Amino acid sequence: MDSINSRIANELGVRPQQVAAAVALLDEGSTVPFIARYRKEVTGSLDDTQLRNLEERLRYLRELDERRASIIASIEEQGKLTPELAREINLADTKTRLEDLYLPYKQKRRTKGQIALEAGLGELADALFADPSLTPETEAERFIDAEKGFADTKAVLEGAKYILMERFAEDADLLAKLRDFLKHNATLSARVVPGKENEGAKFSDYFEHDEILKNTPSHRALAIFRGRNEGILSIALKVGDEAPGSMHPGETMIGERFGIDNRGRAADKWLGEVVRWTWKVKLYTHLETDLLGELRDKAEDEAISVFARNLHDLLLAAPAGPRATLALDPGLRTGCKVAVVDATGKLLDTATVYPHAPRNDWDGTLAILARLCAKHGVDLIAIGNGTASRETDKLAGELIKKVPGLKLTKIMVSEAGASVYSASELAAKEFPDLDVSLRGAVSIARRLQDPLAELVKIEPKAIGVGQYQHDVSQLKLARSLDAVVEDCVNAVGVDVNTASAALL
């Protein structure tokens, strides 16, 4: 635990004692806002951003330690844990490195290499690897055994090849080197699946798309992954010269790692094939899956953090304050919904007016609105930014001219998520007798008065200020957005006399 604390302290640039104090509070069930606001003296004034990062890293490093313990137990059970391996496992600082080290000891289905080992071909593989001057076909003859499934020299040499391939492909240092090489040099290549050109027209930008993997921005990566999930695009990682007959940089690195190069000795050609197959069959697909998974995770994290920033800005938009407000929720055929709330957000009056096509009752609407404004001493007009909002804005402009004595001000308000709120259980409790469409207008009025108090009633995802929100991990997204709401409410505080139940 101390090592986790000191590692987090290093990453955040704070003292280990601050981290230890924060971890103890989190473990007791304290929330980040509570610690940030009321336990400053204990944590040495860590702010909510530092605490959120600390909480995230703590979760990751604890999961890493749990996995480390179970891997050590598993290898120990097999009787294969050496002091060197134990040291490597204890030094592993990412989940990827841990899994690479565990790969040779993982319980797998019986592979071709294992079957060959059971048939005693390990000796042949070791001999050819150690001394490439031996002739593979001659050496293989004494291992022919039809009963074990190796009826001729071709089958025997294939078995020996799989033994070496599996050994090479499970070398943790080689994996780390190749992964790093691909990460910095690979190209992400997207192609349209033949025959899907019309169906997938919205992905046409990616039908012939190549870009450097490490430079791919999150929004493009998520678009490409969505295209693949919908069966429109195929994705691959490419590197180096892909021309037939040319040696792939990955093969060169495997050869260097195990001292294999073609000097014209009897077994060199066979060993060269082992290297080529190790890359093509074993390592390339494995690493491609890993790196695409990593790209996806990174893109998801970026998309979630953009969503979180946008939500933060929206929640902390400047409130208009306690002023009587008339809200217009624009609509054409179904009319504009009108709601009037007093300075504390209490609903006073509602109406439905039809200023736009097909009814075009412009003057009648102006008369109704002027009457409502005068009756309730309205100060502000909030206009939802949905369908027909421009026409409705023009209507509000004429209303202001019509009743100059009231000194009205009109403001356009985002209505994102208002329909979700109006059909929610919370809205039904607040306004049991009010029509669903009128509840949306009430929400628009209150959003202008106090965005935070009103928007916390809506599930953050429904506010719709993010990209690809349905493509990312819903658990991670919910965790991040809930944290934003918590931090915003914590930063501003609430007026207990007017706060909604959701806000409290």
Pick the closest to residue 385 from 423, 331, 340, 345 (CA basis): 331
* 339/304 same-domain check: no
Where are any strands of DSSP class E within 271-332? Answer: 325-329
Backbone angles phi and psi of 43, in degrees to 5: -95, 5
Determine, yes or no, domain membership for 468: no
| Of 71 and 460, more confident | 71
Task: Tell me: do 126 and 152 sit in the same domain.
Answer: yes
The torsion angles phi and psi of 15, rounded to 5 degrees, stand at: -80, 145
Enclosing domain of residue 31: 2-105
For residue 29, tell me if it sits in a domain: yes
Same domain, 96 and 136: no
- Does the pLDDT of residue 226 top 90, yes or no? yes
The answer to whether residue 320 is domain-embedded is no
User: Which pLDDT value is given to residue 499?
Assistant: 75
Q: Is the pLDDT of residue 348 over 80?
A: yes
pLDDT per residue as tens digits for the range 241-277 = 666 667 789 999 999 999 999 999 999 999 999 999 9
- Name 369's bridge partners: none
- Mean residue pLDDT of the chain comes to 92
Structural contact between residues 487 and 315, judged by C-beta atoms closer than 8 angstroms: no
* 336 pLDDT tier (thresholds 50, 70, 90): very high
- The single-letter DSSP state of residue 262 is -
pLDDT (average), residues 306-328: 91
Residue 93 in domain: yes
What pLDDT does 1 receive?
A: 67
CATH number assigned to the domain comprising residue 83 = 1.10.10.650
CA 226, CA 156: separation in Å to the nearest integer?
Answer: 45
Shared domain for 302 and 330, answered yes or no, is no
136 pLDDT band, cuts 50/70/90, is very high
Structure confidence at residue 241 (pLDDT): 63
Q: What is the pLDDT of residues 405-421, one digit of tens each?
A: 889 999 999 888 888 88
User: Do residues 219 and 338 both lie within one domain?
Assistant: no
| Averaged pLDDT for residues 293-318 | 92
pLDDT at 242: 64
Plot region of 206 (φ>0 → left; ψ -120 to 50 → alpha; else → beta): alpha
Sheet holding 233-238, edge to edge: 208-212, 187-192, 233-238
Predicted pLDDT at 467: 78
Domain boundary among 105, 127, 156: 105
Same domain, 18 and 148: no
Which of the listed residues 428, 449, 470 is the one where a domain comes to its end?
449
Whether residues 272 and 157 fall in one domain = yes
Mean pLDDT value of segment 227-245? 85
173 and 284 housed in the same domain: yes
Least confident of 140-149, 354-363, 415-424: 415-424
Is 479 within a domain? no
Residue-wise pLDDT for 377-388, tens only, equals 999 999 999 888
Provide the pLDDT for residue 380.
96
Q: Report the share of the chain in percent with pLDDT over 90.
A: 72
Residues 268 and 394 in one domain: no
The Cα–Cα gap between 456 and 314 comes to 11
> For the residues 323-327, what does the mean pLDDT come to?
96
Give the mean model confidence (pLDDT) for residues 42-46.
92
Both 153 and 274 in a single domain? Answer: yes
Q: Looking at the structure, tell me whether residues 243 and 358 fall in a common domain.
A: no
Look at residues 271, 284, 193 and name the one whose alpha carbon lies nearest to residue 232. 193
Instruction: In whole angstroms, give the CA distance from residue 343 to residue 359.
Output: 33
Residue 53 and residue 42 in contact, taking contact as beta carbons nearer than 8 Å: no
With beta carbons less than 8 A apart as the criterion, state whether 356 and 328 touch.
Answer: no
Q: Number of folded domains in the chain?
A: 3
C-alpha closest to that of 239 among 221, 253, 255, 223: 253
Q: Give the three-state DSSP class for 196.
A: coil
Domain harbouring 123, CATH code? 1.10.3500.10
**Quick check: 110 pLDDT over 90?**
no
DSSP 110: P
How much is the pLDDT for 470? 81
Q: C-alpha angle with apex 439: 436 to 442, nearest 5 degrees?
A: 165
Question: Residues, the chain, total?
Answer: 504
How much is the pLDDT for 456? 87
**What pLDDT score does 57 carry?**
94
Contacts of 47 (CB under 8 A, 6+ apart): 36
Do 251 and 117 lie in a common domain?
Answer: yes
Of 91-100, 222-231, 339-348, 421-430, the one with minimum mean pLDDT is: 421-430
Give the residue from 449, 471, 497 where a domain finishes.
449
Domain with residue 440: its CATH number is 3.30.420.140
pTM higher than the cut 0.85: no
Instruction: Say if residue 51 is exposed, middle or buried (CB neighbours under 10 Å; 0-12, 13-18, 19+).
Output: buried
